[in-house]
Amino acid sequence: MESTQSTKTGIRKLIIVLSIIIPAVVAALFKVKIEGYDWHFLPSIYACINGLTAVLLVVALVAIKQKKISLHEGIIKVCMALSVLFLLLYVAYHMTSDPTLYGDLNGNGELDPYELTTISSGAKIAYFFILITHIILSIAVIPMVLFSYLYAWEGKYDKHRKWTKITWPLWFYVAASGVVVYIMISPYYPH
């Protein structure tokens, strides 16, 4: 029994460590630039991954409501794998590409006076609101997803349900808002 308890404690500590390390590593990798690669195609791929994740999260919710536990579990595992794949592609893109500015019509990395006046302030506010909440919640959702999964894995279904009432909508928002952010910024990607 003691080794089981120490394993559970170790898993919980690992989740906390991963929840700190993943955002820190992603932030650090943003400072790394690898020249000579043209991976301009990645944003559309990881936007599709976000979209697929959002759809599958809805399917997983419907499956559990219909008491299809194995289907629900399988879909959630796929969503977790898709989230990891998204993160890898997202980091790969940002390590090999310059940042894209919202409103940069000519793709020169600067907003000139014309570009500043072509985008409505409402659109800018909406874009930055969605982007900032997407980023903040993508960090917050890491431990929430992992702990929610852990509670189900341990058979603590009451705790799992309690956590997923908060986790599911946030994870869905992160996945769906990733698609919206892509749609809003995609006109400004260099071609």
The residue range of the domain holding 149 is 2-188
Per-residue pLDDT of the chain (191 residues; tens, 9 = 90+): 555 777 778 889 999 999 999 999 988 988 888 998 888 899 999 999 999 999 999 999 999 999 999 999 999 999 999 999 999 999 999 899 888 889 888 888 888 888 888 888 899 999 999 999 999 999 999 999 999 999 999 999 999 999 999 999 999 999 999 999 999 999 988 76
Total domains in the chain come to: 1
Angle formed at CA 131 by CA 127 and CA 133, multiple of 5 degrees: 120
Closest CA to 111 of 127, 96, 94, 99: 99
What is the domain-level CATH number for residue 6? Answer: 1.20.120
81-125 pLDDT per residue, tens: 999 999 999 999 989 988 888 988 888 888 888 888 888 889 999
